[in-house]
Structure 1
Amino acid sequence: MKIIFTAIMIATLAGCSTGTSTYFAQKDIDSIKKGVTSERSVLSMFGTPTSQSVDSQGNKKYRWDYDYDSGAGDDQVEVKTVDVTINKHGLVDSYDSYLRQ
């Protein structure tokens, strides 16, 4: 019985999220402050980034993507992306977010 329930839950959730990152709310994005918000805070808010790199000045660049498909069969997919750059002092240097549908 547990196996059947688990299989049903996995199939249901698979129809809802196709992204590689955890859902994030607009209020979390709005709470980011340049020069104030720490790297630790950003990682705590958004979880494991979809991708990360370091630029030539040593700044860390993080990206989070979240893809959501309602599963209604209408091919409507919402993609939220947040890009954050952390400076050498461990604080947000810049950030950007956008939504595609």
Structure 2
Amino acid sequence: MKTLTALFAAAALAVGANVALADVPAHEISALEKAGTVQSLQKLADVAKAKHPGATITDSELENEYGRYIFKVELRDAQNVEWDVDLDAKTGEVLKDKQDT
């Protein structure tokens, strides 16, 4: 019985962790933008690209991290250097701008 209880507790923790940090499904993004919960992802992408003029976006995703929406952008600049830029999806504030190593 103790093993079964421990198994359920571990499963509950794993599910809770996924809720705290999760990719936002594409079908929910439009509603978040319309409600003003997040800025337009195009506008946020433009902010990220402005940090590295001439760079192209190689990947992006919107994540819900503990109730805060973060837009994560991966870029490749003209010198083939990769960058990770994280933005607060509501305010557009740059939270991270770091060379990918």
Q: Which structure ranks higher in relative contact order (CA pairs < 8 Å, sequence separation ≥ 6)?
A: 1
Please state which band the TM-score falls in when normalised by the shorter chain.
Answer: 0.3 to 0.5
The structure that has the greater radius of gyration is 2
Q: What TM-score comes out, normalization by structure 1 length?
A: 0.34
